[in-house]
Structure 1
Amino acid sequence: MKKVGLTLLTAFVGGAMALGTYKVFEKKSADNMSFEDRQKVYFTNNPATVSSAGAVDFTQAAGAVTPAVVYIRTSYSSNQGGGRNPLEEMFGDMLGQRQRPQGVQQASGSGVIISPDGYIVTNNHVVEKADKITVNTNDHRRFEAKVVGTDPNTDLALIKISATDLPIVKLGNSDEVKVGEWVLAVGNPFNLTSTVTAGIVSAKGRNIGIIGSENNDEDENPFGRTQMSQKPRLNKAIESFIQTDAAINPGNSGGALVNTKGELIGVNSAIASHTGSYEGYGFAIPINLAKKVLNDIQKYGSVKRAYVGISFTDLDPDKAKELNISRTTGLYVSDIVDGGGAAAAGIKKGDIITKVEGVPVYESSDLQERVGRLTPGDKLKITVLRDDAEKDFNVTLKGDIPAPKTAAVSKSAEELFNRLGASFQPLSNAQKAKYRVSSGVIVTQVRPGRLFDDTEIPEGSIITNINRQPINSIADIDKAITNLRNGHLVIKGYYPDGTAFNNMFQVQ
């Protein structure tokens, strides 16, 4: 009897602890919760039971993931111009875009619901030009979405629809992904919604030189088109793709790459193709990198990116011969940024980075993805080869100081919000005191070619009123731009230098 009583007591205590943990998460303010915390709350209440029975049975994983993968349609005016996105030109038209000579153009892609209250991850190149974003869910509901924020450096975007109790895909751990394991790609290729394909992980840590390549030089591309070569700079573009042979086609951009347990391990982003359609390989952004980017966008409106403070070159036999060194793997430090973390730690030009946190470094993606998950102020142990001996340095990462960036729209609040082309964060009490205002949000990101960019309202500006309504949050902005009077949009605030502005726009 004592054993029975002890067993019952143990079960009771365990259940109480689980319930208590759930209640702790439940009480946390949703605005302050990371997406991992939001998911813990969701899966505490809705336990994940996905488990593939055998290496070739994907039915349970597909059934769990498909309801949370959405179909995204975007429209934008043809006068935004500038040619096609290099992502489309070099790796196939992942958007499923149909070019129109004039008027409104349309494109399509995919997205993955990661929070029950309507947050969706997709690619930056799916939504970056959009005036209007329409999201169709798997259960045939339709919503208009607004862009919470984007990160061109990783080709990620976070958008939001007004909905609750949505199905979500569980975030996995891309560090545990192994080459050769089975994966599923879920998306909407060629407008064929809710399509599932299977394949294996072909490689990890691929750097294909596609992000941020529009400003770089052209070289011959092994994929048969032109590929942009990276110029020596601060290496802001972060590429460490998971490569898969699961069939990915136009319209799959922003869709899910999941393991056989139904866990999201990557966001599909590009394909290697001569024709623009599937020819064997696709590339997905690893979810461990995406988690940091998406949490920052949700919390701050933009990504708080950390930097080592170096320029470097991938080593190979040809580069080693050119530099007259014997080492053929690792990263050769070609320059040090004055005042950066690497300089403060003692890393020098000519050092060769061999390890990061004890893990061997073979190419740039091994360092870039690791740094991409971190925040200014975090420490990173970097091992370098100097004078034929390895030496460890603890580098305190520093943040990037963004340079200030020096329209007819519909009546839809979401569409108008997207046309503003900015992300916002509520002012702190200290910031309110600095500008002597009682309300306001700070502009944390300005997207090129949108209204804030065109009218030179830069990052760091303070928005205090829209249409005479005090602004303290995104919800206040939504309210202020709904049901405009006489089609006028009046935005008041302060530039970063404290100069006041009062701009009026005609909305048609």
Structure 2
Amino acid sequence: MKKIASLLLMALFAGAITLGAYKLFFEKTDYQLVSTDDKMPVFTTSNTPTSNKGSGINEVDFTIAAENTVNAVVHVKNVTMSSGSGSLWDFFYGTERNQQPQVGTGSGVIISPDGYIVTNNHVIAKAKEVKVTLNNNKTYDAEIIGADQNTDIALIKIEAETGLPYLAFGDSDNAKIGEWVLAVGNPFNLTSTVTAGIVSAKARDLGRRQSFIQTDAAVNPGNSGGALVNTNGDLIGINTAITSQTGSYVGYSFAVPSNIAKKVVEDIMEYGNVQNGILGINTIPVNTPYAVEKGVNEIDGVYIDNVVEDSGAAEAGLQSGDIIRQIDDVKVRRFADLTGYISSKRPGDEVQVKVKREGDLLTIPVMLKARQSLVVPVMGLEVKNLSKDDQKTYKTKKGVKITGVPETYRGYGLQGKIIVAVDDKEVKDIQDARRLFGEISRYGKTSITMLNEDGERERLIFQ
């Protein structure tokens, strides 16, 4: 009996050892920890390693760039004269009696220690008097050196007793989307205001056939002409515009790229006006029926619809149907990419244009030329300088050829004729044409002297 009991005890003991060994070495455990913390669980949604530096915002130091910039940004005040009150007295006796001074304000950036300042054209336009106040509250009278309405850039100068703090132009082509930037200016007459944001987009076209840097740094009235700088303190743009129904900042603003502003300033200082180099092509605006019909509404690049006669593009061999994909080192995805880069060049500069032609990529050197055509003010005629063939055909070396006529004047037989005088003032080239047509009064008579292909003079008078 004792033997049976001992065997049973040994069997139970052996079973316990076997079960314990199985539990210990073979069975998978599945523990769940229960705590009193009722927060939502956090899960990793990506296997991509995250930065051990955190969000990155605290890594950027704006203080040095801001300190260097505020002393080089000035407050610009311009004084213009109002055009009168519109009273019955003004109607009969003119408005000179009631003209009142009006003060406008903006910003400017000192770009040299001897007092040259870049600002916006619209800040100093029509000004009778311009005053500049530095960050140390000293005020100076400023001289307008020159301005360019197309790029909205102007150059003014003050005479200071000592060298001034200034900003050097940076390379706006190197600015990257997402890069931190500072906008420095004088919004609402609040001097030396610094706001921060990022580059939201580059080569933004606002319908002006020009390229802008878009940023979300706060810019308001009074910021115009101020500095857009990166965290190194490099001047990469001149703050110019906001798009807003209220007239105040609503989330994005625009700056003229520094490469364009620098080129305009250098042209004004060296030549007295802006030297515009053009490629010499016509393109098709996107989102138009013609673009859809041609199948170029969604292409990646700029489609060449036709090449302008006697232009650099024509001499280099660019063709209708080519798609421009790159110019020098700048990728071209839309028209603003192309115009933004060309705006920083002058006549005589050579650029390397990469085009797609029938499936092949070709790189073609093109020498930029001065603009040979334009649309004159008031009447809206499109005119161009005379080519050598034109000079032989019409037997003249002066004048401009009419190449486009608006609907209003199509019944006058103007197409293809040579304008040699406007109101008896000689027209030698398109610059003369632009100036003389700009002087035309909408309420008076205008006489235009032209040549036809037989060399015969014609004179038309427009009311």
Q: What TM bracket, shorter-length normalisation? A: 0.5 to 0.7
- Aligned runs of 1:53-452 on 2, under 5 Å? 55-79=59-83, 103-163=100-160, 164-209=162-207, 211=208, 237=209, 239-315=210-286, 320-325=291-296, 328-400=299-371
CA distance, structure 2, for counterparts of residue 405 and residue 327 of structure 1: 32
Aligned counterpart, 1:459: none
Where 2:67 maps in the other structure, the secondary structure is helix
Question: Across the two proteins, how many residue pairs are aligned to each other?
Answer: 316
CA contact (8 A) 1:315 1:332 kept: no
Structure 1 contact 171–264 (Cα < 8 Å) conserved: yes
Contact map agreement 2:131 2:142 (CA 8 A) in 1: yes
The alignment partner of 1:170 has SS state of: coil
- The alpha-carbon distance between structure 1 residues 243 and 327, as it changes in their structure 2 partners (threshold 3 A), is closer
Aligned partner of 1:86 in structure 2 is none
What's the counterpart of residue 418 of structure 1? none
Greater Cα shift, 325-334 or 341-350 = 325-334
Aligned Cα RMSD in Å?
3.0
Aligned to 2:52: none
Report the alpha carbon displacement of residue 401 of structure 1 after superposing the two structures with TM.
5.4
Q: CA deviation at 1:358?
A: 5.0
Indicate conservation of the 8 Å contact 1:185/1:247, yes or no: yes
Letter in 1 for 2:193: T
For 1:184, the aligned partner's letter is L
Partner of 1:75, secondary structure, is strand
In the TM superposition, residue 393 of structure 1 has moved relative to its aligned partner by 1.8
Pairwise CA distance, 1:56: 3.8
SS in 1 for 2:346: coil
- In structure 2, relative to structure 1, the CA distance for the partners of 1:404 and 1:133 (3 Å cut) is farther
Aligned-residue offset at 1:304? 1.4
8 Å Cα contact 1:315-1:363 kept in structure 2: no
Q: Please tell me the residue identity of whatever aligns with 1:77.
A: M
1-structure distance, mates of 2:282, 2:373? 18
Counterparts of 2:292 and 2:309 in 1: how far apart (Å)? 28
Structure 1 residue 189 displacement after superposition: 0.3
Residue type of the alignment partner of 2:189? N
Query: Could you list the per-position Cα deviations for residues 416-474 of structure 1 after superposition, in whole angstroms to 9, with x for gaps in the alignment?
Result: xxxxxxxxxxxxxxxxxxxxxxxxxxxxx99x99xx9799xxxxxxxxxxxxxxxxxxx
Secondary structure of the 1:295 match is helix
**Could you tell me how far apart the structure 2 residues matched to 1:374 and 1:169 are?**
22
CA contact (8 A) 1:315 1:328 kept: no
- Give the Cα separation in 2 of the matches to 1:362 and 1:190: 37
Distance in structure 2 (CA, Å) of the matches to 1:355 and 1:317 = 24
Does the Cα contact within 8 Å between 2:296 and 2:303 map onto a contact in 1? no
Mapping for residues 3-14 of structure 1, pairs under 5 Å? none
Shift of 1:102: 5.2
Q: 1:403 to 1:132 in 2, by over 3 A?
A: farther
Q: How far does residue 191 in structure 1 lie from its aligned partner after superposition?
A: 0.7
CA contact (8 A) 1:306 1:398 kept: yes
Structure 2, unaligned runs of 5 or more:
1-56, 86-97, 378-430, 442-463
Deviations along 1:255-304, one digit per CA (max 9) or x if unpaired, are 00111122211100001211000100010111122111111111111111
Retained in 2: the 8 A contact 1:315–1:331? Answer: no
| 2:83 counterpart SS class | helix
- If asked which structure has higher relative contact order (CA below 8 Å, sep 6+), I would say 1
Amino acid at match of 2:262: K
The 3 A distance-change label for structure 1 pair 80 and 348 is farther
Q: How does the TM-score come out when normalised to structure 2?
A: 0.63
Structure 1: 5+ residue runs without aligned partners? 1-52, 82-100, 212-236, 407-444, 456-508
Structure 1, 243-252 or 303-312: larger mean CA deviation: 303-312
CA deviation profile, 1:67-103 (whole Å, cap 9, x unmatched): 110000111122399xxxxxxxxxxxxxxxxxxx952
Mapped partners of 1:64, 1:348: distance in 2: 49
- Does the 8 Å CA contact 2:119/2:225 hold for their aligned counterparts? yes
Q: Deviations over 1:127-149 (max 9, x none)?
A: 12211111111111111111111
* Counterparts of 1:114 and 1:385, CA distance in 2: 40
Q: State the Cα deviation string for residues 375-402 of structure 1 (Å, max 9, x = none).
A: 2111111122222323222111111358
- Give the AA of the match of 2:184: V
Amino acid at match of 1:57: D
Distance 2:363 2:374 in 1: 33
The question of whether the paired residues in 2 share the 8 Å contact of 1:187 and 1:195 is answered with yes
Counterparts of 2:77 and 2:308 in 1: how far apart (Å)?
A: 42
Any idea what the Cα deviations from partners look like across 1:13-56, whole Å, max 9, x if unmatched? xxxxxxxxxxxxxxxxxxxxxxxxxxxxxxxxxxxxxxxx9634
Query: What CA distance in whole angstroms lies between the structure 2 residues aligned with 1:257 and 1:326?
Result: 33
Identity %: 49
TM-score for the superposition, normalised by structure 1:
0.58
- Structure with greater Cα Rg: 2
Q: CA contact under 8 A between 1:358 and 1:383: conserved in structure 2?
A: no
Post-superposition CA distance 1:289-321 (Å, at most 9, x none): 211111111111111111111121355697653
Distance 2:110 2:355 in 1: 41
Q: Which amino acid aligns with 1:71?
A: H
